[in-house]
Each structure stands twice: as structure tokens, then as C-alpha cells.
Chain A
Amino acid sequence: MEKLENMQDAYGETLAEIGEDTRIVVLDADLSHSNRTNIFARKFPRRFFEAGIAEADMIGVSAGLSMAGLIPFAHTFAVFATGRVYDQIRVSVCYQNLNVKIVGTSAGLSDAHDGATHQSVEDVALMRALPNMVVVVPCDSIETRKATHAIHEHVGPAYLRLNRMPVPLIWKSEDECKFEIGKALTVREGSDVAMVASGHPVGLAIKAAEEVAKEGISVEVLDLHTIKPIDRESIIKIAGKTGAIVTVEEHSVIGGLGSAVSEVVGEGIPVPIERIGIQDKFGESALEYGELLEAHGITVENIIAATKRALERKKSNEMLCEV
């Protein structure tokens, strides 16, 4: 059995650890239990602030706290942490280039029960478009811990996207996960097709890679945990090495990782790309997270099919070239 761990638990624990830095202040918009910021709140009650259900004000207050020399971490569900407060992040945080950390929880479809209003399928697209913003999407609880330390050390605006459900561990230990903002990590080596993924879909990509390996297809898997600044070098390198790419994300295929990788590849080294993700649709309620992912096509089977399509396109391109 694979080991499952919750990213938000790992985040909450790490936040309480880095809270030893007395410049850190934590704000939450009435979701501190769910967001696990309550761990920090118990340990450092004087540096925890309940903003109430007033997300716009929470972002503005965070900007002001940063101006006063503190390092605010602001929390709510990803859908509210980005779309609801887009202009506040744009003007008060990014335009002013302030050291504010925005943590979007229950991201993607992971709040399965609550339905479309609570499911963020476009948050990465929104945050990626903002100058000065760093966008980090960790794949498991270990990478979440590393990413939390990294955004703390980074000076400037950052968005951290977290899944609310227990997800498989990709990394064995924090030592093994050589996390650095903007540097993609290779989790499996291969030569025929490259899979580029972020979030827990990195795990789906690895499973798909193992499956197609049985048919003799060699797949490299890249954990692209930082969507911005994007690691051009690694993407160009694997595009050159494999000649075909499959992107996998729990986000709309418009504007997220699939788009970002396509931009880099299109400008640098055009190769066939297949994008697995949410197909320009809103989410919906489901009793099981797994069945919701399946309904939106984020499955090992779909990744396998996309891998074969990408391989076919690569081969027919090669034949055209030979003609």
C-alpha cells in the first residue's frame, strides 16, 4: 500500500515551526481549522489574526503588515485566495512587490463535496499572470514542507497551492526532495516521452509511466512544482531528449501548467504536447474525491492514452521529416 499524507497538515506543522521567526504573522479568513493555521495560532497566539470572512481586507491588511516589516502568510481556500481577491493581490501585493505569502488550500477539485463554488480550477492561471508573483504547487506532504520553508526564505509575493485530501508520498524524505523554487525535479528517467506534472498528479504520472514501461515505452517524469518562474532549461532539455510531452495537472488546461509548458516548448523546441487537466469546465459535487478526478479525466488511464497519442504524433512527425 502506498503511504498517504495530508499536505495541509504538513503545511500547518511547518508554519508553526518557521513561526520561530518573529517577523511571521498569520491571517486566516475563518478557516483556521481546515487550513491547519490553528497549529500556529495555538503556539503564537499574538501573531495570529482572524480576519473574519473578509478576504479582500485580509489581503490588504497583509500588504500593510509587510510594509511594517513583517512577513504575513494569508490563508483561505484557493478559489477565494485568488479569484475573489484578484485585484487586491494585483495592486496591493504584486504591484507594490511586497513580501506577502498567499496560501490557497482545498485547491483543485479536492473539496469534492462542496462543488464548483469551492473548487479552484483557474487559480494558477490567475496567479501566473501577475508580475512579481511566484507560484508553487507541491506534489506531496514532504515537498509541501520544503516549499513552505522556501517561500518563507524567498523575499517577495508567493502563492502556495495546497490539496486538502491525503495524497500519496512521492518523496521518501525531505533530504531526498531537493526542492528549490524554479528548479523542476526529475522523479523518473526515460527517453521516449516526458510527463510534466504538478501537485498530486505527479503520482498519477509515475503510475502511468510504470504501466507503459511494461509495453516498452520509456517515460521521464518531471515534477514541475514551480509554475512561475518556470524552469525553461529543464523543459527544453526533456523536450529535446524525448521529443514528446504529456502535461498533467489538477487545474484547467487553460492557463495552468499545460499552458506554461506549451509556451516554453512552442517558443523553444516545438514537439507534440498532450495536456491532461480540467477541460474548460467548472467542477461539481461528488461524495468521493477519486470519482470526481475520474469524471474530469485526471486518471492514470487517460495519462497512458495521452502518452500513446504523443508518441504516435512524434513518430508521424519523424516520418514526415524523413519524407
Chain B
Amino acid sequence: MHSQLVVNSLDEKALIIRKGILEIMAGGKRGHLGGSMSIADIIAALYFHQMKHDPKNPDWEDRDRFILSKGHSVLAQYVALAELGYFPKEELKNVKKLGCILQGHPDRIKVPGIEASTGSLGQGLSIACGVALGARIMGKDFRVYVIVGDGESNEGMIWEAAIFAAHYKLDNLTTITDQNRLMASGGTIVGSLVPKWRAFGWEVIEVNGHNMGEILDALDKAVNVKGRPTMIICDTVKGRGISFAENVSGFHHCSLTPEQHEAALKDIQSKEKD
């Protein structure tokens, strides 16, 4: 159990992330809105509470690693990294501009704080398995965190990694599925994920991916699982926080009209506590 104070402060961080995503998309700039909004709470929990890391020393050897396998949702991660001081907040205005460090998908060489260049779906979990195995070989006790999408979980490579992680008992690996149940073109076709991951030998925890207390409890629980990797299936809502975009796959990758942008911002602000 986490104190209400901690939960409230992380909920606030999630709102900052959501507002930041909208700010990046101001002026009709296209972006992957839906999936960025659905992971905002998870990103807040990881970066502002769960992970040990140091924005002043992004290459600190003992830091926990985070890999966003569903790389298209990087807008949420950019806002968190800027908020933490990994790079100046002004950079957020330049997302995707030619010459800007902030690419359309995560880039580990260009951006401080990004651990893996992802975006070609399915690859992040295998990379995370390698980092987790490497930590064990090197005698390091950092943890590796990954977010995969439920749409992404159609990729065969995800299940190759699932077998690898279970076989090598990678208990320093926590994987989180952003189960928003929508792909770019409609509903996911991957089916029930919980029995699949259990059958692959993983510890599986199911939570509401927008309930901060549940997310934090699950992350804690995963740390104490021994001998197998953990999958936290987070039930989420694509476009979470923007009423007209929630559960609409058309807002997977989109631009917002000035009217939509204003309405979206109002929706987010209405969640702010006084």
C-alpha cells in the first residue's frame, strides 16, 4: 500500500504528462495521441517513483533501465524526461523537426534518458531480455522495465522473448502490457493475454492501468518475484483523459483541430485537484 500523498503526487505527474503531450501536438502537429495517453499513468509511476535513475547522470551504471517497446507512444516519455531535466523543456517544442534530437520514435543515441531505439514493433522485449541477462552476468542488481502494447503482442518476436525470459529465469525483468484493446485500425486480435503469459511461465498481475495505487502495488510485487519474469497487464483506455478520443482508434495517430485541442485541454484540466 502506498500513501495517498504519494498516489496524489503521481496522479499529478500523469496530468502533467497528458498536458505535455497536448502541448507537443499544439498547432495541428500530428502525433500518436491515443497510445501516449494510455501509458501516461504507468510512465509517471516508473519515472517519478519506481525506478532508480539520475537525470544528471543518464549513463549511471546502476540505474534501472526502461525500454518503451511500443515506441510510437514516446510523446509521454519525452514529457517525463523533460520534466525530470534530462533535456531542456524547450526541446519539446521541436519534436520531429529536422535536426531536433526528439525523433518520431525513441532514439538512444540522440536523446539522454532513452535506453533503446524502438518503433519497429516487437523488438523491445528481446532487447530488455538481453539487458536483464547482461545485468546478471555483470553482477549488477538493477531492474529492467519494458512497456509493450497489446497490438504489438501480435508480433511473433514477443513470444520468442517470452520463452527466452522464462527459460533464463529473468526475475530482474518487469514487463508491462498497455492493454488498451485498440490497434491503429480497430480492435486488437491478439485475444486473452493473461492465460498466454501464464502458459509461458511468467508471473502475471492484472491491474487497472489508470489506478496509481494498483500500478505501484504491482510494480512492488514484481520486484519480489523470484525465478521468473513478471508481466503486469494494465487495463487501459486508449486516448485516456480526452473524452472524445477515448476508445476511438482514429486518434491513434492524429492531429487536433484548434477546437479539439481546447476541448482536450479542458478535459485534462478538469481532473486537476485544487
Contact = CB atoms under 8 A, between A and B. Distances in A.
Contacts of B163: 52, 54, 57
Interface in A44-87: 46-47, 49, 51-52, 54, 56-57, 59-70, 72, 87
Interface stretch (A88-96, A167-175, A247-255, A289-297): A88-96
A263 to B, nearest CB: 27
B135 interface: yes
B137 A60 contact: no
A57 B164 contact: yes
B117 A91 contact: yes
A70 B137 contact: yes
A228 to B, nearest CB: 20
B132 A64 contact: yes
Given A57-B161, A95-B117, A68 B129 contact: no
Contact of A92 (B123, B134, B135, B164): B123
A67 B134 contact: yes
A61 B164 contact: yes
B138 interface: yes
B126 A68 contact: no
Interface stretch (B33-41, B86-94, B108-116, B246-254): B108-116
A96 B123 contact: no
B130 A62 contact: yes
A87 B118 CA distance: 11
B133 A65 contact: yes
A302 interface: no
B186 interface: no
A64 B127 contact: yes
B104 interface: no
A67 B116 contact: yes
A69 B160 CA distance: 23
B269 to A, nearest CB: 38
B194 interface: no
B128 interface: yes
B260 interface: no
A64 B134 contact: yes
B127 A68 contact: no
Interface in B135-162: 135, 137-138, 140, 156-157, 160-161
Contacts of A92: 116-117, 123, 126-127
Interface string A17-50: 0000000010000000000000000000011010
B137 A68 contact: yes
B127 A67 contact: yes
B138 A64 contact: no
B108 A60 contact: no
A97 interface: yes
Contact of B131 (A51, A54, A65, A88): A65
B109 A64 contact: no
Contact of A60 (B109, B115, B157, B168): B157
B120 interface: yes
Contacts of B131: 64-65, 67-68
A46 B119 CA distance: 32
A315 to B, nearest CB: 51
Contacts of A64: 116, 126-134
A69 B134 contact: yes
A69 B167 CA distance: 22
A46 B133 CA distance: 11
Given A56-B157, A57-B161, A96 B109 contact: yes
23 contacts: A49-B168, A52-B160, A52-B164, A54-B160, A54-B164, A56-B122, A56-B126, A57-B161, A57-B163, A60-B123, A60-B125, A60-B157, A62-B130, A63-B126, A64-B128, A68-B133, A68-B135, A69-B134, A87-B120, A91-B118, A91-B120, A91-B123, A97-B109
**Top-5 shortest CB links A-B:** A64-B130, A68-B134, A60-B126, A57-B160, A54-B160
Interface of B: 65, 108-109, 115-120, 122-123, 125-135, 137-138, 140, 156-157, 160-161, 163-164, 167-168
Interface of A: 25, 46-47, 49, 51-52, 54, 56-57, 59-70, 72, 87-88, 90-92, 95-97
Given A65-B133, A87-B123, A92-B126, 18 more contacts: A47-B137, A49-B133, A49-B168, A52-B160, A54-B164, A56-B160, A57-B129, A60-B123, A60-B126, A60-B127, A61-B130, A61-B164, A64-B134, A68-B138, A70-B137, A91-B118, A91-B119, A97-B109
